[in-house]
Structure 1
Amino acid sequence: MAKEGKGSLKRSKPSYIFSVIGVALVLFIMGIMGWIFLNIKQAGDMLKEDIRFSAYLRTQNKDTIGQIEQFVATQPYAKNVTYVNKESAKQIWNKDNNEDWAKILDVNPLPESVDFYVKADYINKDSVEKISNVLLGLYGNQITDLQYPKSLVTNLDEKAKVYGLIFFVISVILCMIVIFSIDNTIRLAMFSNRFLIKTMQMVGATRGFIAKPMDIKAVINGCISGLIAIALLFALIQWMETQVPEIRVINDTKQTVMLFGGMILVGVGISLFSTHRSVIKYLKMKLDDLY
C-alpha cells in the first residue's frame, strides 16, 4: 500500500519538462526574429552612413577652409569630416572610375572640398535639405555646392519607412503567436495537474498557499526556458559568423545582450501569468467540471 501510495504521489506531481522545452523553442524562434530585426536595422544604418557628402569649395584660403571644416565637425549629424585637396580628389575620382584621366588632361579640373558622412538618423530628405541650406546659407561665398546622391537618399528614406512598417506588422503578429503558443503550452501543463490543485483546495489549503509554489516554479521554468533559447540562439549566431564574417561588423553586442534579457523576461512573464491564471481557474471550478 505504501509503495502504491508513493507511486501515485509521484504521478500527481507536476511534470514541466515538455513545457520548458516547448517554451524554449518558441522563445528561440522569437529570438531569431528579434536578432534579424536588429541586424537589418544595423545594416541599413551602415548603408546610410556610407553616403559621402562633398561641400565643393570656391575659396582656397586655408583659414576659411579650416573654419568650414571645424564647423561641420562640430555638428551633431557629421562623421569623419576631412578636407580633400585637388590631388586627393583626383585619386578618389580615379579610384571610383577605374581610370586615370591625367593621360588626357594636363590640368586638374576637380575642386577642393570638405567631405563628410552623415549619421543614419539624419539620412532623410528633410534633414539633408536642412543641412544643405544651413551650410550654403553660412558659407555661400566659400562653397559652390553641396553634392550627394539625392536619389539614393530619397529612396533609402522611402524604402526604410515601407520596410519598417512591414517588419513592424510581422513583429506584432509574431509576438501574438509567441504569447499564444507559450500560454497554450503552460495551460496544457497545468491541465494535467488540475486534480492536484483541486485536492489541495479540498483539504483546506488557501488559494495563496496553492498558487505560490506553482508561481515560483513558473518563474524558474521561465528562466530555464529563456536560458536554453539564449544558448541555442548564441550557438546559431556564432555559426553564422563563421560562415559569413561580415555579420560580425553589423552585429551589435549591446543590443544582442538586451535581446537575450528580453527573451528571459518574456519567458518568465508569460509563464507566470499563464500558470497563475490556470491555478485560479481550476480553483474556481467545481470538481465535476474538471472531468
Structure 2
Amino acid sequence: MSRDKKGGLGRGWGGWHSRVISIISISMVLFLLGVVVLLGLVGNGLSSYVREQVTFTVVLTPDADPLEVALMERSLKKEPFVREVSFHSKEEALEELTKELGENPEQFLGWNPLSPTFEITLGDTYVASADSLKVVERKLEGYRLTQSLGYRQDLVDRLNENIRGVTLVVALLSGLLLLISMVLINNTIRLLIYSRRFLIYTMKLVGATSCFIRRPFVWYNIWSGVMAAVVASGFLTWGWYYLLSKYPLLSTILTVENGLIVLGVVLVLGVVISWISATLAVSRYLRMDVNKLYRA
C-alpha cells in the first residue's frame, strides 16, 4: 500500500480531498443525530418540569393542633413521593380569600371558615402513573389530620396522554433519523473504499490476510469518524450556548451533564458507525470475484 514521505497513508486513499469530503459528510449527519438527542433530552426535561407543577392540596381539620401539624409536615418531607411541601395556615388562607373577594368573610360570619392546608409537589415519576397517584392518595388520606384532598385528575390524565403521544412521535422520528444517518454514513464510506477495491484485490493476491487488509481501512475511517464527531460537537456546543443565551429558562434542562451526554453519543455513534461500515465494505470486496470488481 503506497505511503507518502511522512509515513502516512498516501495518494492511494484519495488524499486529503476525499478525506475532507468524507469528514464533512459524516459530521453533518452526526450533527443531525446530536440535534435529535438534544431534542429528546429537552423534551424529557420539559415533561418532567410540567409534571412537577402538579400539586396536591391537603386540607386539614380546622382545629388542627400546631404541634401535630409540625409533626405531619416533618413526616411528609420524608415521603419518597414528595418533592416539596409548603404549609398555609388558616390566617394566610383567609388573607388570600379576602384579597380575591374584596371583603373579609370573618367580619360577617364571626369566625374563620377556612382550614389550614399543605401544598405538596410530587416527583414527576409519581405524576406519570395513575396507579402511583392512587398510592399517593391513600398515603395522604391515612394521616389523621387530613380532611380532604384536592387535585385536577382530569388535567393530570390529559397531561400524561399528551406527553406519551409526543414521546412516541419523537421516538419514531429518532429511530428513522438514526436509520437514515447510518445509511448515509455507510454510503459515504463505501464510496471511499470503492475507489480502492483493486488495491484490496491486489493485496489479497500477494497473500495478505483479511485482517491485515481490513485494518488500515477500518482505522482510517474510525479516525475520520472521530474528526467528524469533533466538528459536529463544535457546532452542537455553539447551538447549546445560543439556546441558553436566548432562553435562560432552559438552563435547568441544558445542564453540563446533558451536554456531555449529547457529545458522548455523537462521538460513540461516529466511531461505531464508521467502524461497522468500513468493516462491511472491505469484507464485501474481499469476497468479491475479480470479474465482478469491474461491474461493482
Q: TM-score range by the shorter chain?
A: 0.7 to 0.9
Paired residue for 1:63, among 61, 67, 70?
A: 67
> Distance in 1 between the 2:256 and 2:151 partners?
32
Q: Secondary structure at the match of 1:274?
A: helix
Paired residue for 1:83, among 80, 87, 91?
A: 87
Aligned residue identity for 1:217:
Y
> Distance in 2 between the 1:116 and 1:169 partners?
35
> Distance in 2 between the 1:11 and 1:224 partners?
20
Paired residue for 1:146, among 142, 146, 149?
A: 149
1:128 aligns with 2:133: yes
Please state how far the C-alpha of 1:199 moved relative to its aligned partner.
2.3
Contact kept in structure 1, 2:30 and 2:232, CA below 8 Å: yes
Q: Counterpart in 1 of 2:123?
A: 119
- Cα 1:174–1:13, aligned 2, differ >3 Å: closer, same or farther? closer
Q: Secondary structure at the match of 1:114?
A: strand
Give CA deviations for 1:137-161 in whole Å, capped at 9, x if unaligned: x22x421111112221111122222
Question: What does residue range 211-222 of structure 1 map to in structure 2 within 5 Å?
Answer: 211-222=214-225
Paired residue for 1:256, among 259, 262, 269?
A: 259
Contact kept in structure 2, 1:53 and 1:148, CA below 8 Å: yes
Give CA deviations for 1:163-194 in whole Å, capped at 9, x if unaligned: 22222222221211111111111111111221
Paired residue for 1:168, among 155, 166, 171?
A: 171
Q: Counterpart in 1 of 2:103?
A: 103
Please state how far the C-alpha of 1:238 moved relative to its aligned partner.
1.1
Contact kept in structure 1, 2:204 and 2:286, CA below 8 Å: yes
Aligned residue identity for 2:254:
N
Paired residue for 1:22, among 21, 25, 35?
A: 25
- Cα 1:91–1:237, aligned 2, differ >3 Å: closer, same or farther? farther
Please state how far the C-alpha of 1:219 moved relative to its aligned partner.
1.8
Q: Counterpart in 2 of 1:3?
A: none
> Distance in 2 between the 1:223 and 1:238 partners?
22
State the identity as a percent.
Answer: 27
Aligned residue identity for 2:90:
K
- Cα 1:93–1:154, aligned 2, differ >3 Å: closer, same or farther? farther
4+ residue runs of structure 1 moved beyond 4 angstroms?
A: 90-94
Aligned residue identity for 1:248:
S
Please state how far the C-alpha of 1:226 moved relative to its aligned partner.
1.1
Aligned length in residues: 277
TM-score normalised over the length of structure 1: 0.88
Please state how far the C-alpha of 1:120 moved relative to its aligned partner.
0.4
> Distance in 1 between the 2:95 and 2:292 partners?
83
> Distance in 1 between the 2:228 and 2:64 partners?
65
Q: Counterpart in 2 of 1:12?
A: 12
> Distance in 1 between the 2:288 and 2:95 partners?
81
Question: What does residue range 132-211 of structure 1 map to in structure 2 within 5 Å?
Answer: 132-136=137-141, 138-139=142-143, 141-211=144-214
Q: Secondary structure at the match of 1:146?
A: strand
Give CA deviations for 1:262-289 in whole Å, capped at 9, x if unaligned: 1111111110111111111112222332
Q: Counterpart in 2 of 1:42?
A: 45
TM-score normalised over the length of structure 2: 0.86
> Distance in 1 between the 2:198 and 2:285 partners?
8
RMSD value, Cα: 2.0
1:224 aligns with 2:224: no
- Cα 1:40–1:90, aligned 2, differ >3 Å: closer, same or farther? farther
> Distance in 2 between the 1:104 and 1:73 partners?
33
> Distance in 2 between the 1:198 and 1:93 partners?
86
Q: Counterpart in 1 of 2:239?
A: 236
Q: Secondary structure at the match of 2:58?
A: strand
> Distance in 2 between the 1:74 and 1:90 partners?
29
Please state how far the C-alpha of 1:134 moved relative to its aligned partner.
1.9
Contact kept in structure 1, 2:240 and 2:254, CA below 8 Å: no
Aligned residue identity for 2:279:
H
